[in-house]
Structure 1
Amino acid sequence: MEIKQHILDAVNEWLTPTFDKTTQEAVIEMMTSSPKDLEESFYKNLEFGTGGMRGVMGVGNNRINKYTLGKSTQGLSDYLKIAFPDQPLKAVIAFDCRHNSKTLAKTVADVFSANGIQVYLFSDLRPTPELSFALKYLGCQCGIVLTASHNPPEYNGYKVYWQDGGQIVPPQDGAIIETIEKLNYSQIKFDADENLIQYIDAEIDQAFIKSTIENASFGTSQEAKDNLNIVFTSLHGTSITAIPETFAQAGYKNVNIVEEQRVPNGDFPTVKSPNPEEPEALTLALALADKTNADIVVGTDPDCDRLGVAVRNNEGQMILLNGNQTMILMTAFLLKEWKKAGKINGKQFVGSTIVSTPMIMELATAYGVECKVGLTGFKWIAKMIKDFPELEFIGGGEESFGFMVGDAVRDKDAVAATLLICELAAQVKANGSSVYKELQQSYVEHGFYKEHLISLTKKGMDGLAEINQMMVDMRNNPVKEINGQRVVMLEDYKSSIAKNLLTGEEETMDMPKSDVLIYYTEDGSKICARPSGTEPKIKFYISVNTELDSVENFTEVEAVLNEKIKNIITAMQLS
């Protein structure tokens, strides 16, 4: 196969003495035995997406390795000196259970220290939300976590956090990337100053757990806690270091842990994907729930920022909730608790994203609080807290199984969210209700919203080109009708234009640009198209809604909404 010149130029750079002998040998081996892999490894630089820099591990500028992470850390070190002149600089680093995470974390620490920056490095794997907490607790200017979240085992990643505890956002992200891109690999300082690297563990752990319990506990009686039967799985990830101890200190004693998934393991041997969004990931947990007659199942992804939840329906069967449903439940619970405590006075807000359920806006309106909606990714919710200091942040979530309780952690936090959903479950059980009945009642009070996600995987360079072309086609030839319903509004977040397709009127949207299209139909349905920022996928988010006059009619109305979703999928040829 013919390899393009810019790829050959990149390959030749990696054969220079700047790179160690092992790396050079791996490149030569790829040149002779796997030209396609060579092309995939070198055709572009690994980029920052919605979740930072994430990719397959290996050699090359489009792979996660000591050089790509070293270059990013060198650029970040240079930028920190510009952003915080004449200040003593401090950074904190955490890592998850993935292969090479511990080694890569030490490499990042080495580069920071070689640049004269004080480094706090967790001695072993920890949840991502603990990194966000530790950053503020230790008074650091930035933090790094080595994780690829729920991606397959061959992936790793690098997420950058700023001094507020949230992930980097404009203008810092662009300025940091610009600084990184100006560097050559030969400029990376790898020679560590070990005197500047301090290992951290127990003190931060205890402070993090104490903060979690303070933020996510709401006066649940000990009797109610004792009567809640919980199944928990860490899916071989980092949450095992925090959630069992959080349960214990919060007074939840009846916790059954899935033992086969307790030990951290980057191969994730018991699941196809360590992603609580995938029903298969919770198979063992659901089996244990049936065996122990559990009320609730909670499973977290490898870096412990997302959670999947299953509860019993009205027939006593365990069913999986989707991310929008858990977000509705937790938001409604927080709003009720804040109202009960007399803490709502019109100066509060909840956060959501453009691809999450519109029902959150209905909930916020009902309780007299503002709902701020941002782009996909919790960095935008964290930015809301920073941008609106005059408002109190109650909580926020997104459809991809993430939730944030208060602002002690400025990222999605499965530790606090796990405790919060169990607080809800314990209280409603003590009152003779259930989590499922609470969800149904919310639909009666605020409208029955039903969501569905279609993810189309398109791997590699060819897949990326195909995804880009799909977005171009949808922009150039917007759908006028979906499932017999006229499209009344098209929001294009790349051009920042919202266009009424019936009148031709256009208005500018005040939001950062992003490669997202959202169609709204005349019956209130919403269909969003968005390439993933962290996986080789294009995602279609479908939301439909109608009124539900009583819980007794739930099944009948749900069937109507399911049929509408099915027809939209067919009409848009997404199946």
Structure 2
Amino acid sequence: MHIEQNILDRVNEWLTPDFDRETREKIEDMMTSNPKELEESFYKNLEFGTGGMRGVMGVGTNRINRYTLGKNTQGLSDYLHKSFPDKEIKVAIAYDCRHNSNTLAKVVADVFSANGIHVYLFSDLRPTPELSFALKYLHCQCGIVLTASHNPPEYNGYKVYWEDGGQLVPPQDKEIVDVIESLTYDKIKFKPNEKLITMIDKDVDAAFVKSTVENASFDTPQSAKDGLSIVYTSLHGTSIKAIPAVLEKAGYKNLHIVPEQATPDGDFPTVKSPNPEEPEALSMAVSLANKLGADIVIGTDPDADRLGIAVRDNADKLVLLNGNQTMVLMTHFLLEQWRKKGRLNGKQFIGSTIVSTPMMMELASAYAVECKVGLTGFKWIAKFIKDFPNLEFIGGGEESFGFMVGDKVRDKDAVGATLLICEVAAQAKAKGSSVYKELQQMYVDYGFYKEHLVSLTKKGIEGAHEIKQMMIDQRVNPIKEIAGERVVVVEDYQSSVAKNLLTGEEDPLTVPKSDVLIYYTEDGAKIAARPSGTEPKIKFYVSVNAAIDSLDDIPAAEKQLDEKIQNIIRDLKIS
């Protein structure tokens, strides 16, 4: 097959003595046995996306390996020295259960130390939210997590956090990428200064657990905690290092852990995907909960930043909640707790994203707080906390099963969110209600909002081109009608313009530019199209709503909204 010259130039660079023999031999083998894989491995440099950098492990510029991560870390070291010229620079590093995470974490630690930077390296795998906490707790300027979140087993990744505990945001992200891109591989300092590497574990663990319990507990009586039966699974991931300890310290004793999924394992052998967004991932936990008659099922992804939840419906059947539902449930609970304690004075805010449920705006209005809405990714919510120090952050989330309670952790946090949803469930059960009934009452009080996600996977070079072309086509031929309803407003986050199609008026969008299109129809439906920043996917987010007067209206309204969602999907041909 023909391979472009620019790809061959990258290949030839990796065949020089700056790269180890094993790497060079693998490349030479691909050149003869698998030129397609060679092209995929070198056709571009791995890029920072919504949740850092993720990719398949292997050799090449488009793969996760010691050289691509070494180059990132060298560039980051140079940037840190420039940013903090008169400080002792400290960095915290954590890693998850994935293959090679521990060895790659040590490579990253070595490069930092070789550049005179003090490294705090966790002695074993830890949840991502603990890294965000540890960075601030240890007064570091930067933090790194080696993780690919819920991606398949062949992936790994590299998330970068700054001194506020949040992930990189503009303009720093671009400035750091520019420094990295300007480097050649021979500039990477791999030889460590072991004196600058300090191992951390139990002391930070204890502080993290204590902080989480203080941050996500809300005066739930011990009798209510004792009355809640919880089934929990870590899906072979890192949350097993924190969630049982947090729940125990918080007083939740009736905890049942899925034993087959309790051991960290980068192969994730009992699931097709370690993603709590996927119903199949929680099937073993649901089965155990049915056997035990448990009230709630909680499952977390490998790096413990997302959680999936199942609760009992009015017929006592376990049903899975989606990320929008868990987000509004937990946000409503927090708002109500703050109100009861007299803590709401108009100087608070909740956070959400442009592709999440509009119901968050209704909650904010009802409790007279702000709802700040940003791009996908919790780095934007963390940025709001930093940019508005005069406002208190209550909590916030996004549709992709992430939530953040308060500001002690500046990223989505399944550890704190697990305790919070247990507080919601325990208090609801103690008063004769349930999580499900609380959600239904919210539909009556704030509007019945229903969301659906369609995610199309497009792998490789061709897939990337196809996704790009799909977004181009929508901009060249904008959609004017969806399922028989006129589109009234189109928001194009790439051009930062919101256009009213009925009046022709245009208004600027104030969030940073991103490859996202959002359509609003005359009946209140919202449809967003967005290429994923971490996976080879394009995602379509559909939100519809209806006003209802009582709980009795829910069945008919739900049927109507389900039909509307299916009509939209058919009309857009995205099923």
Hey, what does 1:295 align to over in structure 2?
295
Letter in 2 for 1:166: G
For residue 80 of structure 2, give the secondary structure of its aligned residue in structure 1: helix
Which whole-Å deviations, capped at 9, do the CAs of 1:87-127 have from their partners, x for residues lacking one? 11000000000000000000000000000000000000000
For residue 148 of structure 2, give the secondary structure of its aligned residue in structure 1: coil
For residue 183 of structure 2, give the secondary structure of its aligned residue in structure 1: coil
1:399 positional shift = 0.2
Hey, what does 2:342 align to over in structure 1?
342
Hey, what does 1:248 align to over in structure 2?
248
TM-score (norm. length: structure 1): 1.00
Letter in 2 for 1:452: H
Letter in 2 for 1:537: K
1:249 positional shift = 0.6
Which whole-Å deviations, capped at 9, do the CAs of 1:48-90 have from their partners, x for residues lacking one? 0000010000000000000000000000000001111111100
For residue 49 of structure 1, give the secondary structure of its aligned residue in structure 2: coil
1:15 positional shift = 0.2
Higher mean alpha-carbon deviation, 548-557 vs 317-326, is at 548-557
Hey, what does 2:38 align to over in structure 1?
38
1:511 positional shift = 1.2
Distance in 1 of aligned mates of 2:549 and 2:558: 12
Hey, what does 1:378 align to over in structure 2?
378
Distance in 2 of aligned mates of 1:216 and 1:530: 32
1:266 positional shift = 0.1
Counterparts of residues 534-573 of structure 1 (less than 5 Å): 534-573=534-573
For residue 267 of structure 2, give the secondary structure of its aligned residue in structure 1: coil
Hey, what does 1:158 align to over in structure 2?
158
For residue 449 of structure 1, give the secondary structure of its aligned residue in structure 2: strand
1:279 positional shift = 0.2
Hey, what does 1:448 align to over in structure 2?
448
Hey, what does 2:499 align to over in structure 1?
499
Distance in 2 of aligned mates of 1:337 and 1:141: 34
1:334 positional shift = 0.1
Which whole-Å deviations, capped at 9, do the CAs of 1:493-533 have from their partners, x for residues lacking one? 00001111111111111110000000000000000000000
Hey, what does 2:310 align to over in structure 1?
310
Distance in 2 of aligned mates of 1:205 and 1:308: 23
Hey, what does 2:412 align to over in structure 1?
412
1:453 positional shift = 0.1
Does residue 28 (structure 1) correspond to residue 25 (structure 2)? The answer is: no
For residue 48 of structure 1, give the secondary structure of its aligned residue in structure 2: coil
Hey, what does 2:189 align to over in structure 1?
189
Hey, what does 1:55 align to over in structure 2?
55
Distance in 2 of aligned mates of 1:110 and 1:309: 39
For residue 36 of structure 2, give the secondary structure of its aligned residue in structure 1: helix
Distance in 2 of aligned mates of 1:548 and 1:38: 57
Hey, what does 2:393 align to over in structure 1?
393
1:556 positional shift = 1.3
Distance in 2 of aligned mates of 1:260 and 1:486: 50
Which whole-Å deviations, capped at 9, do the CAs of 1:176-211 have from their partners, x for residues lacking one? 000000000000000000000000000000000000
Which whole-Å deviations, capped at 9, do the CAs of 1:216-256 have from their partners, x for residues lacking one? 00000000000000000000000000000111110000000
Hey, what does 1:229 align to over in structure 2?
229
Counterparts of residues 74-89 of structure 1 (less than 5 Å): 74-89=74-89
Which whole-Å deviations, capped at 9, do the CAs of 1:144-167 have from their partners, x for residues lacking one? 000000000000000000000000
Does residue 177 (structure 1) correspond to residue 177 (structure 2)? The answer is: yes
For residue 549 of structure 1, give the secondary structure of its aligned residue in structure 2: coil
Letter in 2 for 1:401: F
Unaligned runs of 5+ in 1: none
Provide the alpha-carbon RMSD of the alignment.
Answer: 0.4
Which whole-Å deviations, capped at 9, do the CAs of 1:385-435 have from their partners, x for residues lacking one? 000000000001000000000000000000000000000000010000000
Distance in 2 of aligned mates of 1:553 and 1:516: 34
Hey, what does 2:531 align to over in structure 1?
531
Distance in 1 of aligned mates of 2:171 and 2:225: 45
Which whole-Å deviations, capped at 9, do the CAs of 1:18-45 have from their partners, x for residues lacking one? 0000000000011111000000000000
Distance in 1 of aligned mates of 2:241 and 2:14: 38
Distance in 1 of aligned mates of 2:368 and 2:498: 27
Letter in 2 for 1:248: E
Distance in 2 of aligned mates of 1:574 and 1:279: 20
Which whole-Å deviations, capped at 9, do the CAs of 1:456-507 have from their partners, x for residues lacking one? 0000000000000000000110110001110000000000011111111111
For residue 352 of structure 1, give the secondary structure of its aligned residue in structure 2: strand
Hey, what does 1:358 align to over in structure 2?
358
Hey, what does 2:267 align to over in structure 1?
267
Hey, what does 2:438 align to over in structure 1?
438
Hey, what does 1:473 align to over in structure 2?
473
For residue 533 of structure 1, give the secondary structure of its aligned residue in structure 2: coil
Distance in 2 of aligned mates of 1:554 and 1:519: 26
TM-score (norm. length: structure 2): 1.00
Hey, what does 2:103 align to over in structure 1?
103
For residue 557 of structure 1, give the secondary structure of its aligned residue in structure 2: helix
1:345 positional shift = 0.2
For residue 253 of structure 2, give the secondary structure of its aligned residue in structure 1: coil
For residue 86 of structure 2, give the secondary structure of its aligned residue in structure 1: coil
Distance in 2 of aligned mates of 1:502 and 1:573: 25
Which whole-Å deviations, capped at 9, do the CAs of 1:333-391 have from their partners, x for residues lacking one? 00000000000000000000000000000001000100000000000000000000000
Hey, what does 1:220 align to over in structure 2?
220
* Structure 1 stretches of at least 4 aligned residues deviating more than 6 Å after TM superposition: none
Hey, what does 1:421 align to over in structure 2?
421
Q: How many residues end up aligned between the 2 structures?
A: 575
Unaligned runs of 5+ in 2: none
Hey, what does 2:522 align to over in structure 1?
522
Hey, what does 1:484 align to over in structure 2?
484
Letter in 2 for 1:213: V
Distance in 1 of aligned mates of 2:252 and 2:550: 34
